[in-house]
Structure 1
């Protein structure tokens, strides 16, 4: 009975700490403060390990830092836009090259068929030439 009561108290305390951490993260975001673990430790009085080890709070912290990243790093925003433009350009080039490749494959097949036809025609012409030579030799 005492064990269950201790677990219940521990879980309640953990929930209280998580709520304090969530509120601190939300306050820092709304006040446009940079969200860091050190800042949260100062603000809440919770340990650094709590912010790193608690998976729920860690995820919320990472999301807050990610969303705030653009606000605090304008260079990253510019780099991201440039990379997106480059990605779009490269994707369009890939589409063009793929279509050219398909056209070339079809053209290659057509030329292979034509090559086979011409080889057959050459063989027939060689046979005809031999016959002519034989008939010429017979005349002599």
Structure 2
């Protein structure tokens, strides 16, 4: 399941046009490929939850996020996740800052690193394909 989430992270970075650090960019993806990646990640994810970040996270020190809505999966509203920031070689990292709110995928086990929030483009693709996320 890690592979689809990693693919989504790559697509989210490309869609958001984040500058890459110390790695080369792959050729641009077509809209159809991006849509296929987003829908594939949705199907593969154990859960899709809206979170509110309560405390900042660094790469070394975990922060806390609380589940405020559940769209998919067996996750309780109010559940707390302790996650560190996530940094890889091809993106500036996914930072968790108090006050952030948005949708994220969760796996079958507790996330140790913040996977990042779904981009507005990914949410539009999901909605266009019948996934009704509350606004």
Using the size of structure 1 for normalisation, the TM-score is 0.23
Which structure is higher in RCO with an 8 Å CA cutoff and minimum separation 6? 2
- Structure label with greater radius of gyration: 1
Larger proportion of strand: 2
TM-score by length of 2: 0.24
More helix by share: 1
